[in-house]
């Protein structure tokens, strides 16, 4: 076998080795991504149960708080106007 043939055989063997290593690595990555996806599915289901169990009952209170905050925010311009007139009268 000539040196050129030996080098070609060694190159082919090296390429096959690299391909095998890449296949093994990609299978491991695929398995890990699958486990991550399963974990995310479980997390999503848990969060949905938590929301249904604990947060749905708070909707009424949240809307009531938002309504009160909207009323307060609506009063702010007149409060600011009165405060500025009072400050002018007092010479502040």
Q: What is the DSSP string of 8-68?
A: HHHHHHHHHHHHHHHHHHHHHHHHHHHHHHHHHHHHHHHHHHHIIIIIGGGHHHHHHHHHH
Distances (CA, A) of 26 to 8, 12, 57: 27, 21, 46
List, for residues 39-73, the tens digit of each pLDDT value.
999 999 999 998 888 887 888 888 999 999 999 99
Model confidence band, residue 27 (pLDDT cutoffs 50, 70, 90): very high
Confidence (pTM) = 0.50
Task: Tell me the residue length of the chain.
Answer: 92
Question: How many Å apart are CA 81 and CA 92, to the nearest integer?
Answer: 14
Q: With H, G, I as helix, E, B as strand and everything else as coil, classify residue 76.
A: helix
- Asked whether the predicted pLDDT for residue 87 surpasses 70, the reply is yes
Contacts of 54-63 with C-beta under 8 Å, sequence gap 24+, read none
pLDDT score at 18: 94
Model confidence band, residue 23 (pLDDT cutoffs 50, 70, 90): very high
């Amino acid at each position: 076998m000539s040196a050129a043939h030996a080098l070609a055989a060694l190159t082919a063997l090296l390429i096959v080795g690299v391909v095998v290593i890449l296949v093994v690595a990609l299978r491991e990555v695929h398995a890990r991504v699958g486990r991550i996806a399963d974990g995310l599915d479980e997390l999503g289901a848990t969060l949905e149960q938590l929301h249904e169990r604990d947060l749905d009952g708070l909707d009424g209170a949240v809307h009531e708080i938002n309504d009160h905050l909207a009323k307060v925010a609506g009063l702010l311009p007149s409060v600011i106007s009165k405060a500025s007139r009072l400050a002018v009268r007092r010479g502040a």
